[in-house]
Every structure is written in structure tokens, then in C-alpha cells.
């Protein structure tokens, strides 16, 4: 199975009456040499990956490289194009995007097949696990996007199970604040 088959790329059809958000438009401009519907699909795909990478308010080098790798393979882009799309998707300005999050998810859902939405789910977990620790904020963001894309809960659980060993909350000390480690005292 090729990476494109694994990602669920069986062609894209533009949703009737679909609108393009400003964030998707900026990434699409970077992909100006592509067919417009394909560029919109890839731009929304990259944006959603960036949304996961930004969930903890930092985008590490591993996450940015993983976004670039995924969009390079997904879109059959050159290294330079993929790096540019990865940079745009992970840009700090996207961390304050407001309603774009919902609009882009809706746009992607209109462009993507069920297989492509599931492929995005796997890719979002790949980005969040690229630094070897999926923190709760990232896990929650993936879940939020999965709900927006109407991905069935069992599919979410299956994808999450595949990266279970990277979930920070399941690692020793993960998710526990030092102030709560000791016994609780009633003499406060």
C-alpha cells in the first residue's frame, strides 16, 4: 500500500457552495501551481495539522518537520513547497484564529471523503506524537477536530490506541502536578 492509499487519497470533489476561509486562502496561494480544488484540500489538511501542533502553544521542530513530511507525501509536493506549507500551517499567527478553526474543519469535511477524514485523523496523531509525547492539549484538540469532522468515536479510539505509548497522561508522572503528589492535608 502506498502512502497515498494509506492517507486515503482517492481524489477530491469540491463541496457545492463551499467557502474558503482566509487561513486556507493563504496556504492555497502558496500552492498556486496546483489545481484549485486540490490546493484547497491540501491547505485545509495542513491547517488542521497546524491546529494540533499549536494546541500546546508551541510548535517544536519535530512537529513542523512531521507536518512538512505529511503534506509533501499527501500533496506530492517538492521539499520547498512542503516546507512552506508546513511553516504556514505551524505559524504563530494561526494560534489566534478564532472562527477559522470551525470554518476550516467544515471546509475540509466538505472536500474530503470518509477515508480522507480518517487519514487526517491518523496524521494529526502522527504530528502530536512526533516529539514522543502527546500532551493532553494535543489529544483534546485532535478529539475536537474529529468531532467537527463527524469521525465516529470508535475510529478516534482506534487511531488514539495506535499512539497509546506516546500519551503523556499515561507516562509516569504525566499529567500530575508536583503540588498534588503528596498526601492532602486538612490543616489549611
Model pLDDT for residues 5-56, shown as the tens digit of each residue: 333 333 433 343 445 667 677 777 777 777 888 888 888 888 898 889 888 8
Between these two residues, 59 and 13, which has the higher pLDDT value? Answer: 59
Dihedral sign, Cα of residue 60, residue 103, residue 69, residue 33: negative
The set of cell numbers assigned to 53 is 501542533
Report in angstroms the alpha-carbon separations of 147 from 57, 83, 121, 142: 21, 28, 11, 9
Name the fold adopted by 24-172. TerB-like (1.10.3680)
Residue 20 has a pLDDT of 61
For the cut 60, the answer to whether the pLDDT of residue 125 exceeds it is yes
Domain ranges of the chain: 24-172
Distance, in Å, from the CA atom of 188 to the CA atom of 77, rounded to the nearest integer, reads: 60
Model pLDDT for residues 62-99, shown as the tens digit of each residue: 888 888 888 888 777 788 878 877 777 777 455 456 77
Residue 96 has a pLDDT of 53
Residue 161 has a pLDDT of 94
Model pLDDT for residues 134-184, shown as the tens digit of each residue: 889 999 999 999 999 999 999 999 999 998 888 887 776 654 434 434 444
Report in angstroms the alpha-carbon separations of 86 from 11, 35, 43, 171: 22, 19, 10, 29
What is the CB-side half-sphere exposure of residue 80 using CA atoms within 13 A?
Answer: 1
Residue 97 has a pLDDT of 63
Distance, in Å, from the CA atom of 171 to the CA atom of 88, rounded to the nearest integer, reads: 32
End-to-end CA distance of the chain: 61
Amino acid at each position: 500500500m502506498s502512502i497515498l492509499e494509506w492517507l486515503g487519497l482517492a481524489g477530491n470533489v469540491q463541496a457545492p457552495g463551499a467557502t474558503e476561509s482566509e487561513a486556507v486562502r493563504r496556504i492555497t496561494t502558496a500552492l498556486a501551481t496546483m489545481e484549485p480544488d486540490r490546493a484547497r484540500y491540501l491547505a485545509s489538511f495542513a491547517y488542521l495539522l497546524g491546529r494540533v501542533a499549536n494546541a500546546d502553544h508551541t510548535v517544536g521542530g519535530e512537529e513542523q518537520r512531521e507536518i512538512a513530511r505529511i503534506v509533501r507525501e499527501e500533496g506530492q509536493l517538492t521539499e520547498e513547497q512542503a516546507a512552506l506549507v508546513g511553516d504556514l500551517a505551524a505559524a504563530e499567527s494561526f494560534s489566534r484564529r478564532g472562527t477559522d478553526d470551525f470554518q476550516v474543519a467544515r471546509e475540509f469535511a466538505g472536500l474530503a471523503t470518509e477515508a480522507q477524514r480518517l487519514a487526517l485523523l491518523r496524521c494529526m496523531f502522527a504530528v502530536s506524537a512526533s516529539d514522543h509525547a502527546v500532551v493532553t492539549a494535543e489529544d483534546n484538540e485532535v478529539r475536537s477536530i474529529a468531532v467537527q469532522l463527524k469521525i465516529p468515536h470508535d475510529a478516534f479510539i482506534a487511531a488514539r490506541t495506535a499512539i497509546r505509548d506516546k500519551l503523556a497522561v499515561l507516562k509516569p508522572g504525566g499529567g500530575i502536578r508536583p503540588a498534588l503528589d503528596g498526601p492532602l492535608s486538612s490543616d489549611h
